[in-house]
């Protein structure tokens, strides 16, 4: 019996030693960063959807021959942020520079201790006055650390199908359609007429409109005390009523945003209008395809004034072995010149004050949208954005897992009242 036990201990010992050796092997070759500018440094950068960094990364490597960058791109924002939080909790696996979307920023600010303070380690030229004030301030933790450099913002405008407007007897010139998009009431009223006349849908998805409406409110799902504030928020309830009324009038194409069916819907011309944050132009171009060029148009009007939807930050987690180099890369990528280039590549709209008045931005046109001066148009829309609302922890999850499914259920036939109850119950569950 004893020999058996000894044998097991021996075998265990051998295995452990072998495992230990491999563990050391993988950990041992990562030496801490040195200040030496000639030292070879490998950085990773993780982003989701389109940031427009494809051409910028080789440029940065050319300017810094000692730095090699690996760019990890992920398709969807939701799974990307799940992965981010999991790796943050696990304490390893994150990129040196990790992008964070505005809707998930609150979850990250909550764990501020796991990020570097960019106001301390970042280069001097990345000063606060570079950014739009609200964009910079939103990435500050409660104790004043700056954990992210702002990348793009998502000023809202309205996109629409010129050919479908014309066929329905509506004005189709970008200036002439503006009154239709003056307020949400005028927008949904026009939609009710359009749908009654043509038997076609006015917008793509109830959840898309609802998200834009909630983003315009002074307060979102979460109050400034970080507690759930859905039930007491009359603005959210009103938005819900307006959107679900529109669904009842047949204005929604009932397509879940970013699904396969939604993509097909763009090609088939399943809806006449679409709420358009600046980054949506790229999505429309890709999904509607060249066969629909010049059918889509965009105008500098949005129901209820302006709004912001989306936009991201570049953070440097404390897991990074090369925080200084990572912060330099993040600062460079978010500098005005690079933001303009990213905008030209993928339509990510700049958040830097200097970039917003840059002639390169203002003169930017988009042939796909009938040569619209999109740079000037979205710069104008960006100025209509007031102070953006505070987003507490769980805000992004409520949007994705409470309000969007509840509106989808209404589109699938659930009553508006039951749908509202579903939203409230689910939001309570998320913030519990």
Partner 1 sequence: MTVIDKVAPEGSKAGERTSPRPTFRHKLSRWDVKVSPYLYVAPFFIVFGIVGLFPLLYTAYVSMFKWKAGDDDPQFIGFDNFKELFADSQFWNALTNTVSIFLLSSVPQLIIAVLLAALLGARLRGATGWRVGILLPYAASLVAIGIIFANLFGPKYGLINGVLQTIGLDPVDWQASRFGSHVAIAIMVNWRWTGYNALIVLAAMQAIPKELHEAALIDGAGTWRRFTAVTLPLLKPTLIFVTITSTIGGLQIFTEPKLFDALPGSNNGGSTNQFQTVTLYLYQSAFENYNLGYASAIAWVLFVIIVLIALVNFFLTGRLARTPAVKKK
Stretch that binds partner 1, among 1-9, 31-39, 289-297, 332-340 (CB under 8 A): 1-9
| Torsion from C-alpha of 201, 207, 212, 217, nearest 10 degrees | 130
What is the per-residue binding string for partner 1 in 11-30, x denoting contact by CB under 8 A? Answer: xx--x---------------
CB of 142 to partner 1, least distance (A): 16
Q: List the one residue from 88, 230, 297, 385 that touches partner 1 (CB under 8 A).
A: 88
Binding residues with partner 1: total (CB under 8 A): 47
Contact 358, 336 (CB under 8 A): yes
Beta-bridge mates of residue 73 = 47
Contact 110, 397 (CB under 8 A): no
Q: In whole angstroms, how far apart are CA 277 and each of 267, 288, 306, 310, 405?
A: 20, 16, 10, 8, 21
The yes or no reply on residue 318 touching partner 1 (CB under 8 A) is no
The yes or no reply on residue 404 touching partner 1 (CB under 8 A) is yes
Q: List the one residue from 252, 256, 273, 334 that touches partner 1 (CB under 8 A).
A: 256
The yes or no reply on residue 82 touching partner 1 (CB under 8 A) is yes
The beta strand positions in 178-240, using DSSP E, are 201-203
Stretch that binds partner 1, among 50-58, 258-266, 321-329, 375-383 (CB under 8 A): 258-266
Stretch that binds partner 1, among 80-88, 271-279, 308-316, 343-351 (CB under 8 A): 80-88
The yes or no reply on residue 211 touching partner 1 (CB under 8 A) is no
Identify the burial level of 388 via C-beta atoms within 10 angstroms of its C-beta, where 0-12 means exposed, 13-18 middle and 19 or more buried. buried
Nearer to partner 1, 1 or 63 (CB): 1
Q: List the one residue from 70, 268, 294, 363 that touches partner 1 (CB under 8 A).
A: 268
- Which helix (H) or strand (E) segment holds residue 271: the answer is strand 271-277
Residue 197 DSSP SS3: helix
Nearer to partner 1, 211 or 339 (CB): 211
Contact 195, 249 (CB under 8 A): yes
Identify the burial level of 367 via C-beta atoms within 10 angstroms of its C-beta, where 0-12 means exposed, 13-18 middle and 19 or more buried. exposed
The yes or no reply on residue 421 touching partner 1 (CB under 8 A) is no
The yes or no reply on residue 45 touching partner 1 (CB under 8 A) is no
Q: How far apart are CA 354 and CA 352, in angstroms?
A: 5
The yes or no reply on residue 405 touching partner 1 (CB under 8 A) is yes
Q: List the one residue from 109, 139, 278, 430 that touches partner 1 (CB under 8 A).
A: 430
Placement of tokens 């180099």 in the chain: 325
Nearer to partner 1, 47 or 299 (CB): 47
**What are the residues whose beta carbons fall under 8 Å from the beta carbon of 160, sequence distance 6 or more?**
177, 272, 273, 274, 296, 297, 298, 299
CB of 247 to partner 1, least distance (A): 13
Nearer to partner 1, 255 or 301 (CB): 255
Which residue ranges make up the site for partner 1 (CB under 8 A)?
A: 3-4, 6-8, 10-12, 15, 75-76, 78-79, 82, 85-86, 88-89, 111, 114, 254-261, 264-265, 268, 270, 397, 400-401, 404-406, 408-409, 411-414, 422, 429-430
């Amino acid at each position: 019996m004893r020999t058996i036990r000894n044998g097991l201990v021996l075998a265990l010992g051998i295995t452990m030693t072998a495992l230990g050796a491999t563990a050391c092997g993988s950990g041992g070759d990562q030496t801490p960063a040195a200040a030496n500018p000639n030292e070879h440094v490998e950085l990773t950068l993780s982003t989701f959807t389109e940031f427009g960094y494809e051409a910028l990364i080789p440029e940065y490597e050319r300017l810094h021959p000692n730095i090699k960058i690996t760019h990890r791109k992920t398709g969807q924002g939701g799974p990307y942020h799940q992965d981010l939080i999991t790796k943050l909790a696990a304490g390893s696996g994150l990129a040196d520079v990790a992008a964070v979307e505005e809707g998930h920023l609150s979850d990250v600010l909550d764990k501020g201790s796991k990020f570097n303070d960019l106001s301390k380690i970042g280069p001097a030229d990345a000063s606060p006055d570079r950014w739009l004030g609200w964009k910079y301030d939103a990435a500050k933790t409660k104790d004043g650390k700056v954990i992210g450099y702002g990348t793009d913002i998502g000023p809202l405008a309205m996109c629409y199908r010129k050919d479908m407007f014309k066929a329905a007897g509506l004005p189709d010139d970008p200036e002439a359609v503006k009154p239709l998009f003056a307020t949400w009431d005028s927008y949904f009223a026009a939609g009710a007429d359009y749908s009654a006349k043509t038997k076609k849908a006015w917008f793509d998805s109830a959840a898309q409109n609802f998200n834009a409406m909630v983003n315009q409110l002074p307060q979102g799902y979460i109050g400034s005390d970080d507690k759930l504030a859905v039930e007491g928020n009359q603005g959210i309830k009103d938005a819900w009523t307006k959107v679900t009324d529109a669904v009842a009038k047949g204005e929604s194409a009932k397509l879940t945003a970013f699904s396969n069916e939604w993509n097909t819907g763009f090609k088939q011309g399943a809806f006449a209008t679409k709420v358009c944050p600046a980054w949506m132009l790229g999505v429309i171009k890709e999904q509607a395809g060249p066969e629909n060029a010049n059918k889509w148009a965009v105008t500098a009007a949005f129901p209820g004034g302006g709004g912001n939807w989306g936009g991201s930050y570049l953070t440097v987690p404390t897991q990074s072995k090369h925080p200084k180099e990572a912060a330099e890369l993040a600062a460079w990528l978010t500098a005005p010149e690079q933001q303009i280039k990213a905008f030209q590549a993928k339509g990510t709209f700049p958040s830097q004050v200097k970039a917003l008045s840059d002639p390169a931005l203002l003169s930017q046109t988009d042939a796909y949208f009938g040569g619209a001066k999109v740079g000037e148009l979205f710069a104008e829309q960006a100025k209509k954005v007031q102070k953006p609302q505070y987003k507490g922890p769980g805000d992004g999850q409520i949007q994705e897992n409470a309000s969007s499914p509840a509106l989808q259920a209404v589109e699938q036939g659930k009553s508006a009242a039951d749908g509202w109850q579903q939203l409230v119950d689910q939001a309570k569950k998320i913030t519990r």
